[in-house]
Amino acid sequence: MTTKDIAGKTVQVNEEGFMADPNEWSQDIAVAIASEEGIPDLTPDHWTVIDYCREVGLESGSAPTLRNITKGAGVPTKQLFGLFPKGPAKKVAKISGLGKPEGCV
């Protein structure tokens, strides 16, 4: 583990940049990570997905899969790819302060 300064806060991250402790997460951190991931503005649709992933991830201990997100958050796959391009499950997990979803390369 290493540390990284994100949005003025020092957090622990793994070698791929995923936060090690989801309790260190904040909305400011989400905005900063999203910007790093090429998403300059988080819309209410982004927050719907992020909030859903946080809820599921904190409850289950792991980030939800793409299928789980589309069903649970009620966001169609095509829209999810539009919101979080190039690997939405992995990208939203990182922005949500969760670990890498199982099955993601």
* Active site members: 104
Contact between 105 and 89 under an 8 Å Cβ cutoff? The reply is: no
Q: Which residues are within 8 A (CB) of 19 and not within 5 positions of it... i.e. 6 or more apart?
A: 11, 12, 13, 25, 29, 94, 97, 98, 99
Q: Tokens 């090429």 map to which residue?
A: 38
